[in-house]
């Protein structure tokens, strides 16, 4: 049966809900239309941009009757900036939608009729919460500037004066870097032409320590006075670590080897009473306070008594594993990033924790060796990337057969898919699940889930 709409057709629709990913959901005689920039309760006119057999996509051209849940966005750059999707949606509606999305994924994809879902944990701060931001340089007629990619565009960068996701300090450092770049008459990199020099600026803040790490990413070659660059950043006493990375490829990446220009190799952050050293490329949850809530919830679900062997898969810099080590017999962590593992080992020593060990390796390929070293795990914690557990890693987790699995997810659809496989093929049941809103004004939602396996 053909779709009832055509590309470029203009429709008048009522948006019912939000889909995971951030688009509004409307229906035209039962046919689903995903509406970008449509919010629940809106009556909109929208132009169809894509048509498939079971659904279409459309872009709002006019809000005919705004939803009562619409609010004024405080940011002058919204909605052109791609950093936020929902500044104009009341926060209570945002978290309600995210909770529904997790429930829907567990029912529709996970095949669970009545998911044991607990109320979402809302963010404690809805603005100025990020401890890390990556900016892009772009060239204007009067010189280089810095900001974020425009919504939906890889080739256009929007100049930003004030970002509502970072702190006053973060905004000040970014704006001072723009002044420095213009004074030095440096040229921003052009991604389309692959010419120019300045590419990215990364600013990381230890929100509980006040320490800041700054990383500049350029094209190849030292075309600036590094000493003056350091002097400019040292105007901010919070800056403790200054790095420079060269990217000679076309790829837009910041995860690169760095040259330390000044200060310490890493900054420190404190989470759940422990100290963590954070290097430029190490993974750390970008909302510090809500990361603590997330880890406290993972600790609660792990239910440790002091006698358990714990596997921490995708361990990063050891945050979850080291927090659990206080309650466990031993913790064994695996992470593919060697830099993150180096941080994890350093963090264990920094906190005087002697019952945790960390190894670099692919999770799917390393679990068997880990089992030989440590014996059978009582609890396995997994904190995979957005794509969820890779096929081999999922199989190895199921084959381990640990009585309890704590799954820290950043994508409810892959969580649901993995939960279904663990249930149907390996005998696990989802016992608890609780969403956590780490990223207000974005479509993203974390979930901490507990799976238990009946004794065989």
Distance CA 22, CA 248 (A): 34
pTM of the model as a whole? 0.93
Q: pLDDT 10s digit of each residue in the chain, 456 long?
A: 678 889 999 999 999 999 888 899 999 989 999 999 999 999 999 999 999 989 999 999 999 999 999 999 999 999 999 889 999 999 999 999 999 999 999 999 999 999 999 999 999 999 999 999 999 999 999 999 999 999 888 888 999 999 999 999 999 999 999 999 999 999 999 988 999 999 999 999 999 999 999 999 999 999 999 999 999 999 999 999 999 999 999 999 999 999 999 999 999 999 999 999 999 998 899 999 999 999 999 999 999 999 999 999 999 999 999 999 999 999 999 999 888 999 999 999 999 999 999 999 999 899 988 999 999 999 999 999 999 998 899 999 999 999 999 999 999 999 999 999 999 999 999 999 999 999 999 999 999 999 999 765
Q: In this structure, is the dihedral angle defined by the CA atoms of residues 230, 233, 238 and 241, taken in order, positive or negative?
A: negative
pLDDT at residue 391, rounded to an integer: 86
Q: How far, in Å, are 148, 157, 174, 187, 229 from residue 143 at the CA level?
A: 16, 14, 15, 7, 17
Q: Return the axis-axis angle of helices 91-108 and 412-426, rounded to nearest 10°.
A: 30
Distance CA 289, CA 268 (A): 15
What would the CATH number be for the domain defined by 10-65? 2.40.50.140
> Of 75, 81, 84, 410, which one is the catalytic site residue?
410
Residues of the chain with CATH 3.40.50.150: 100-124+287-453
pLDDT at residue 168, rounded to an integer: 98
- Token readout for 255 is 């995860």
CATH 3.90.25.10 fits 100-124+287-453, yes or no: no
Per-position b or e across 214-245, b if 16+ CB within 10 A of its CB: bbbbbbeeeebeeeebbebbeeeebbbbbbbb
Residues of the chain with CATH 2.40.50.1070: 132-268
pLDDT at residue 1, rounded to an integer: 64
Residues linked to residue 137 through DSSP beta bridges, in sequence order:
146
Q: Which of 378, 442, 446 is nearest to 415 (CA)?
A: 446
What single string gives the DSSP state of each residue in 407-421?
A: EEES-HHHHHHHHHH
What would the CATH number be for the domain defined by 132-268? 2.40.50.1070
Q: How far, in Å, are 48, 136, 212, 337 from residue 283 at the CA level?
A: 39, 20, 15, 9
Which residues fall within 8 angstroms of residue 322, CB to CB, at 6 or more apart? Answer: 274, 276, 331, 344, 347, 348, 351, 353, 356
Instruction: Centre a 10 Å sphere on the Cβ of residue 139 and count the other Cβ atoms it contains.
Output: 18
pLDDT at residue 42, rounded to an integer: 95
**410 belongs to the catalytic site:** yes
Q: How many CA atoms lie within 13 A of 173 on its CB side?
A: 30
For residue 150, how far is the Cα from the chain centroid? 19
Distance CA 292, CA 42 (A): 36
- Helical segments of 57-211, H only: 91-108, 168-183
Distance CA 117, CA 102 (A): 8
């Amino acid at each position: 049966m053909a779709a009832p709409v055509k590309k470029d057709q203009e429709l008048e629709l009522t948006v019912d809900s939000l889909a995971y990913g951030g688009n509004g959901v409307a229906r035209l005689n039962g046919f689903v239309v995903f509406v970008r920039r449509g919010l629940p309760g809106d009556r909109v006119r929208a132009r169809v941009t894509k048509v498939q057999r079971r659904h279409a996509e459309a872009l709002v051209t006019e809000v005919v009757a705004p939803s009562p849940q619409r609010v004024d966005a405080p940011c002058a750059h919204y909605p052109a900036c791609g950093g936020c999707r929902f500044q104009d949606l009341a926060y209570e509606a945002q978290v309600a939608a995210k909770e529904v999305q997790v429930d829907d994924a567990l029912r529709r994809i996970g095949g669970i009729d009545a998911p044991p879902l607990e109320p979402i944990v809302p963010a404690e701060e809805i603005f100025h919460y990020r401890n890390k931001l990556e900016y892009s340089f772009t060239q204007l007629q009067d010189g280089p500037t810095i900001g974020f990619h425009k919504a939906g565009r890889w080739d256009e960068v929007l100049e930003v004066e004030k970002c509502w996701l970072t702190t006053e300090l973060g905004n000040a450092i970014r704006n001072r870097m723009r002044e420095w770049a213009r004074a030095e008459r440096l040229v921003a990199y052009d991604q389309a032409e692959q010419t120019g020099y300045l590419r990215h600026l990364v600013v990381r803040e230890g929100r509980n320590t006040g320490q800041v790490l700054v990383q500049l990413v350029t094209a190849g070659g030292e075309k600036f006075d590094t000493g003056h660059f350091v002097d400019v950043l040292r105007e901010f006493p919070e800056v403790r670590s200054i790095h420079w990375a060269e990217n000679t490829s076309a790829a837009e990446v910041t995860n690169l080897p760095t040259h330390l220009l000044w200060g310490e190799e890493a900054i420190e952050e404190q989470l759940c009473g422990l100290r963590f050293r954070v290097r430029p490329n190490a993974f750390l949850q970008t909302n510090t306070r809500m990361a603590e809530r997330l880890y406290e919830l993972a600790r609660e679900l792990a239910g440790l008594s002091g006698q358990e062997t714990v596997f921490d898969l995708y361990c990063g810099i050891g945050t979850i594993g080291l927090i659990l080590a206080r309650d466990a017999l031993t913790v064994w962590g695996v992470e593919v990033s060697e830099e993150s593992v180096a941080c994890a080992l350093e963090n264990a020593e920094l906190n005087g924790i002697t019952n945790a060990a960390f190894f670099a390796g692919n999770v799917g390929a390393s679990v068997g060796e880990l089992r030989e070293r440590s014996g059978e795990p009582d609890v396995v914690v997994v904190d995979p990337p957005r794509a969820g557990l890779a096929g081999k890693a999922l199989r190895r987790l199921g084959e381990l057969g640990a009585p309890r699995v704590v799954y820290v997810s950043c994508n409810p659809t892959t969580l649901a898919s993995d939960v279904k496989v663990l249930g149907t093929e390996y005998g696990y049941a989802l016992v608890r699940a609780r969403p956590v809103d780490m990223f207000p004004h974005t479509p993203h939602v974390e979930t901490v889930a507990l799976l238990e396996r009946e004794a065989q």
